[in-house]
Amino acid sequence: MKKVIFIIIQVSLLAASLVAVLSMFSCRRATNNGKIDGNWRIETMEDVATGEVSHPVNFFLAIQLEMAQFREESAAGGPQLNALISYTKGADEIGMEFPEGAGNYNSYLETFRMPSRNVTFRILKLDCSKLVLESPTTIYRCSRF
C-alpha cells in the first residue's frame, strides 16, 4: 500500500511540475508577423514625386506584434513616432495609425515624411535582411540590424 501511495505522489508531483512549466510559456505572446518583425535601419528615403533620395544617418524602424516605432537615435534623444499596425503575415501591405497624444507630434510626422496619421505602406521587398516600404509619398529602404 505504501508503494502505491509513493507512486501516486510521484506522478502527482510530475504532473504538477509539467503544468507549471507549460503555464509559464502559455502567457507569453508570440508574434505571427513573420519576417517583418524586428529592428530595421532606414538607409534611404526616396520622394516618390521627385525621385530625390535622402540618406538619414540614425533613422530606425522597429516592428513588434501590433506596434511600430519610427525613431531617430541621437545623443539628445531624437523624435519618434509610435504606431498601431494592421498586418497579416505574408500580405503585401501594412497599415500604420499614428494616434494623437502618443508623442506623435505633427513635426515628427514631417520628419519621417508621413503624409497623414493613417498610412498604408506597400511592401515592395521583404526578406531576412531587407525591407522596402512605399507610402503614397516616400519609399523607405531598410536593412535589418
**C-alpha cell read off for 113:** 515624411
Tens-digit pLDDT profile for residues 73-126:
987 788 999 999 999 888 999 999 999 987 899 999 999 999 999 999 999 999
For the chain, domains (ranges, CATH) are 34-144 (2.40.128.280)
Q: What is the pLDDT of residue 50?
A: 96
Confidence of residue 136 (pLDDT cuts 50, 70, 90): very high
The overall average pLDDT reported for the chain is 86
Q: How far is CA 36 from CA 32, 42, 47, 93, 134, in A?
A: 10, 14, 22, 11, 14
pTM value? 0.77
Q: What is the pLDDT of residue 29?
A: 53
Q: How far is CA 121 from CA 28, 75, 101, 113, in A?
A: 29, 30, 22, 12
